[in-house]
Structure 1
Amino acid sequence: MQEKKDVTIYDIAERLSLATSTISRALKDHPSISDKTIKKVKKAAEEMGFRPNTLAAGLRGNQTKIIGVLVTRINRPFISSLISGIEETAQKAGYSVMITQSHDSYTDEVNLSKALYDSRVCGIICSLAMETRDTSHFQKFIEKNIPLVFVDRVPKDFNTYRVMIDNYSAGYKATKHLIEQGCKRIAHITGSLHRNTYSERKRGYVDALLESNLPVDESLIVDSSGLTFEEGEMISNTFFDFPNPPDGIFASNDTAAVGAIQAAKKRGLKIPQDIAIIGFNDDPIASIIDPGLSTISHPAVKMGQTSAKKIINHLKSLRNNANASNKDNITEVTFLNTEVVARESSKKEL
């Protein structure tokens, strides 16, 4: 069976005996075309199964209405919620979204950023891979006046939009909560400390301990490259084998924290009496696991919405001001709030 060819504006023009330029303008609601003709053209287009080639149209103008999204792992609840916020805001403004995931690999991130660039996206939103230290592969977007937003995992020094939480404050709040529950020896499962997301959470953890005159034991601070369930379980088992084990654990995400809960339960430890645990993100699993996991709220959807708005507003500014530039040393940082969500894994009866 021969494949049916796509309907073009030439087919519609032939059917209606109109110029192709008239068809093109009518499909775009151009003011030079009467409402009657616009309705007639759109009706014929629908009946004939016409599909506008938005990519080709974008390429002719050297820009699409597609926002590129480069994130770490789509299967993480925080990331899927972030994407949901981006898509919701982009679609309302008439933009599409192209999603890619780096799997926390620097090499994949470099290659995917090039793929998005070559696809002529009109903007890009990125949460950096765990491995990434050098962000020079994003410079091409700045040079071509393509708005760039880093979200959540952001570089320390890159002049562009950044949407994030105050990770220092969040790390401090999590640790302070455990201290207030009576914990005296608190361990910390952190992500890679070259990522300022995790180094700032660690800094908040350390300051909360020092403020309460509690010791900072480096053996209780472990860098987890992936913050996976398995790593959380393995690291926690290492803690429990210490002659003087911790009575509290602050994990930098909920996945690793759930691993800690499972390790404790297998050891027959009482939670939170023997070991109090708090995670980070408030993923759905935090309210499903038994006992319920205390955590830090992480406004993923709002971060996605805010990031998309930055792109859309910047593009609008460029359209309205021909002299506007992406190269004007944009250093705008947007901080969103976090809160402690206390559940059974840490709430002791004091």
Structure 2
Amino acid sequence: MEKDITIYDIAKDLGVSPTTVSRALNNHPAVKDKTKKKIFQAAADMGYQSNVFAANLRSKRTNNIGVIVPSLNSNFQSSVLAGMEKVANKAGFNLVISQSLESSDKEIANTRSMFNSRVDGLLVSLASDAEHLEHFAPFHKRGIPVIFYDRIANSDDSTGVTIDNIQAAQVATNHLIEQGCTRIVHVLGSVKVSVYADRLKGYKYALMEKNIPFDQDRIIILSEINEEAGEKIVNQILEMNPIPDGLFVSNDACAASCINHLKQRGIRIPEDIAIVGFNNEVISRLVEPKITTINYPGFEMGEVAMKSLINYLDEPERTTLQNTNKITLRSELIIRESSLKKKDGFFN
């Protein structure tokens, strides 16, 4: 096994002092550009790896920020991560990403691993079965900031970045009611997850406002709201008597799948069943008819969460991270053809 190349090896090879090599590799202004270039080239040719870990121990920073996502197989999460990456890169931080796969046990293991890796801060979207938050206590004790996004926790020690899911769901359901729908099915994930619990509230509030009775049979709760779930949902709603005239799905990919399966069964969209999705994913603009959806600003959410974390790391004494510091981003309904039973010219 080859031994690690050190600054002394580079210095010997180039006939310069180890101090000059060290300064050049740290981009010190005292070293001439020509010398720096020669040292960088020699370091690359010889396979030198800087001892970042030792340097980080001295500065007490790793410049790594941990991110725990429920699943990487999500357009929304990809968008959030892109926003985080943009801000982190600019500030000189790296992301260490892991996924809980919707399991609280895996989330706990990920959290322990992040803590042992000495990440400077942690960004988390909670797993669907996460009920307890004790695994974040070591971070709070050590003064390591934890920020939740999208699926947030009610914790006095942590900030949450989200949208007003109650209001968003209310707007989506109201739109279907305005189109003449009275038998609206709502498809969502586990109500243990804050976003789905809030969307169910918003759906119920909209029905109450219009004196439409709430029917538990029109609530479809799934462990995964994805493309594969579309056929199952369609089979379930077509067995209802009478069949629904509106469908509000908490995910655009799933809503698109529902549209395809409904069309295959001879159901017209929106004439027979009007459909609203959620997230404003690319798929919502590619299917026919295009899907009315809630624009959930994932990229912006990633940017805001990361900026909040880095601001705290830079100035902890001036920045507080508390539950009262919940950041709520704006969402909006984008109206397209999938929900427009009333053709009165207000296509978006």
Deviation at 1:57, TM superposition (A): 2.5
**Match of residue 204, structure 2, among 203, 206, 227:** 206
1:145 matched residue in structure 2: 143
1:34 matched residue in structure 2: 30
2:325 matched residue in structure 1: 332
1:104 matched residue in structure 2: 102
1:347 matched residue in structure 2: 340
Distance 1:180 1:289, change over 3 A: same
Distance 1:39 1:56, change over 3 A: farther
1:65 alignment partner AA: N
2:151 alignment partner AA: R
Q: Matched residue of 2:122: which SS?
A: strand
Counterparts of 1:48 and 1:253, CA distance in 2: 50
Q: Matched residue of 2:338: which SS?
A: coil
Distance 1:339 1:96, change over 3 A: same
CA displacement 1:171-197 (0-9 Å, x = unmatched): 111101111111111111111111111
Counterparts of 1:251 and 1:292, CA distance in 2: 14
Preserved CA contact (<8 Å) 1:27 1:42: no
Deviation at 1:7, TM superposition (A): 3.4
**Match of residue 177, structure 1, among 175, 179, 184:** 175
1:335 alignment partner AA: T
Distance 1:79 1:172, change over 3 A: same
TM-score w.r.t. length of structure 2: 0.90
Preserved CA contact (<8 Å) 2:162 2:301: yes
Deviation at 1:25, TM superposition (A): 3.9
Counterparts of 2:112 and 2:334, CA distance in 1: 39
TM-score w.r.t. length of structure 1: 0.90
Q: Matched residue of 2:109: which SS?
A: helix
1:193 matched residue in structure 2: 191
Counterparts of 1:298 and 1:325, CA distance in 2: 26
Counterparts of 2:230 and 2:129, CA distance in 1: 19
Counterparts of 1:178 and 1:105, CA distance in 2: 34
CA displacement 1:72-100 (0-9 Å, x = unmatched): 11121001111111111100111111111
Counterparts of 1:22 and 1:144, CA distance in 2: 37
2:333 alignment partner AA: V
Preserved CA contact (<8 Å) 2:311 2:319: no
CA displacement 1:99-142 (0-9 Å, x = unmatched): 11111111111111111111111111111111211121112111
Counterparts of 2:314 and 2:41, CA distance in 1: 30
1:117 matched residue in structure 2: 115
Deviation at 1:228, TM superposition (A): 2.2
Aligned length: 340
1:45 matched residue in structure 2: 40
Counterparts of 1:175 and 1:197, CA distance in 2: 16
1:297 alignment partner AA: N
Q: CA RMSD in A?
A: 2.2
CA displacement 1:149-185 (0-9 Å, x = unmatched): 1110111234212111111111111101111111111
1:235 matched residue in structure 2: 233
2:38 alignment partner AA: K
Q: Aligned residues: percent identity?
A: 40
**Match of residue 132, structure 2, among 131, 134, 140:** 134
Deviation at 1:52, TM superposition (A): 2.5
1:164 aligns with 2:157: no
